[in-house]
Amino acid sequence: MQLAKKLNKLKKLLSKYDSCLIAFSGGVDSAFLLKVASLVIPKNKILGVTANSPTYPKEELVFAKRIARSFGVRHKVISTRELNNKKFIANSTQRCYFCKKELFTQLWSIAQKNNIKYIFDASNASDKSDFRPGNEAKKELKVLSPLQKVDLNKDEIRKLSRKLGLITWDKPALACLASRIPYGRRISTIILERINKAETYLRTIGFDHVRVRDYENLCRIEVGKKGIPDLIDKRKSIIDKLKKLGYNYITIDLEGYRTGSMNEGLIR
């Protein structure tokens, strides 16, 4: 009953807007937001925009296009240029701010050209507990977060997505590949590509929730705790593959997969 009330509250909130642009990654949260918006706002008044960047896996772009098409809403792909920003590639703890500033600035330009007054992102209530400098860019550029407004958390969004028949309901959490690189280490396309190849390989051999944290010649693999024994069993093929990618030392994080592990210890 509580979930139904929150869903209705979200629909009521969204119905107040005559048009919107939604930052759409194709992940659990943005797919849910785009779908619900399409139920209460005319579809020709909704524009989903997906960023194409080396900081995200290419397969996610293909997936985002497929989902947007299935919802019957307008969809646009843009190329973001955060890797041209020296402050972003310097990889300070404010990295996320510079990335979001680049994205939201482009989104506003598109919104204005399409006579759209509101931009939504898919931040949810669970995100409030993580270290997210990008929120400052969101405030500066007046980007709204409807899922947070109605206090929907990640687990609730997954449950509601399943009820709505969305294939994204159990999709693994998506995060920028730059989040695998320790703060202070310069970000480059080469490093991002190596991380992407390592994670793609691990997914192909059965690990859905996976992160490869990159420390130059060493990597730290995170998978779900239940998957750690399987990771150990497959260690020979994993070692062979990841060493070919340039890692001399391959380690397993015994705490298992968790979002934001690179932020542990930071002051919130």
Query: Could you please report the per-residue DSSP string of 9-33?
Result: HHHHHHTT-S-EEEE--SSHHHHHH
* Band of pLDDT at residue 267, cut at 50, 70 and 90: very low
Answer whether residue 26 shows pLDDT above 70.
Answer: yes
pLDDT score of 129? 74
Asked whether residue 126 falls in the same domain as residue 26, the answer is yes
CB 55 within 8 A of CB 196: no
pLDDT score of 72? 96
Asked whether residue 29 falls in the same domain as residue 83, the answer is yes
> Could you list the residue range(s) of the whole structural domain that residue 48 is in?
2-166
Asked whether residue 252 falls in the same domain as residue 162, the answer is no
Asked whether residue 140 falls in the same domain as residue 62, the answer is yes
Is residue 160 in some structural domain?
Answer: yes
CB 213 within 8 A of CB 222: yes
Answer whether residue 1 shows pLDDT above 60.
Answer: no
Asked whether residue 143 falls in the same domain as residue 223, the answer is no
Asked whether residue 78 falls in the same domain as residue 200, the answer is no
Answer whether residue 180 shows pLDDT above 50.
Answer: yes
Q: Which of 60, 39, 37, 181 is nearest to 119 (CA)?
A: 37
Percent of the chain with pLDDT over 70: 97
Is residue 243 in some structural domain?
Answer: yes
CA 59 to chain centre: 13
Note the pLDDT tens digit of each residue in 40-64. 999 999 999 999 999 998 889 999 9
Full-model pTM: 0.92
Is residue 172 in some structural domain?
Answer: no
Q: What is the DSSP letter of 47?
A: E
- Tokens encoding 78: 């843009």
Is residue 268 in some structural domain?
Answer: no
CB 170 within 8 A of CB 75: no
Asked whether residue 221 falls in the same domain as residue 99, the answer is no
The CATH code of the domain that includes 24 is 3.40.50.620
Average pLDDT over the chain, rounded to an integer: 94
Answer whether residue 265 shows pLDDT above 90.
Answer: no
Grouping H, G, I as helix, E, B as strand and the rest as coil, residue 46 is: strand
Is residue 45 in some structural domain?
Answer: yes
Asked whether residue 205 falls in the same domain as residue 224, the answer is yes
pLDDT score of 128? 81
Query: In angstroms, rounded to a whole number, what is the distance separating the alpha carbons of residues 196 and 134?
Result: 22
Q: Which of 49, 51, 29, 68 is nearest to 112 (CA)?
A: 49
Asked whether residue 81 falls in the same domain as residue 128, the answer is yes
Among 115, 139, 166, the domain-final residue is 166
Asked whether residue 142 falls in the same domain as residue 29, the answer is yes
Note the pLDDT tens digit of each residue in 111-135. 999 999 999 999 999 988 777 888 9
Is residue 171 in some structural domain?
Answer: no
Let me know if 123 is exposed, middle or buried by CB neighbors in 10 A (0-12, 13-18, 19+): buried
CA distances 202 to 37, 57, 191, 196, 252, Å, are: 34, 14, 17, 10, 13
Among 136, 166, 196, the domain-final residue is 166
Place of tokens 């524009």: 47
CB 126 within 8 A of CB 154: yes
Instruction: Say which residues have a Cβ less than 8 Å from residue 263's Cβ, sequence separation at least 6.
Output: 130, 131
- What is the arithmetic mean of pLDDT over 132-142? 93
pLDDT score of 266? 57
CB 221 within 8 A of CB 211: yes
Answer whether residue 268 shows pLDDT above 80.
Answer: no
Among 102, 133, 166, the domain-final residue is 166
Contacts of residues 88-93 at CB distance under 8 Å and 24 or more positions apart, as own/partner, are 88/187, 89/186, 89/187, 89/188, 90/186, 91/178, 91/181, 91/182, 91/183, 91/184, 91/185, 91/186, 91/187, 92/183, 92/184, 93/131, 93/133, 93/183, 93/266
pLDDT score of 261? 72
Note the pLDDT tens digit of each residue in 187-236. 999 999 999 999 999 999 999 899 999 999 999 999 999 999 999 999 99
pLDDT score of 173? 87
Q: pLDDT higher for 265 or 207? A: 207
Asked whether residue 106 falls in the same domain as residue 33, the answer is yes
CA 215 to chain centre: 22
Asked whether residue 151 falls in the same domain as residue 242, the answer is no
* Counted domains in the chain: 2
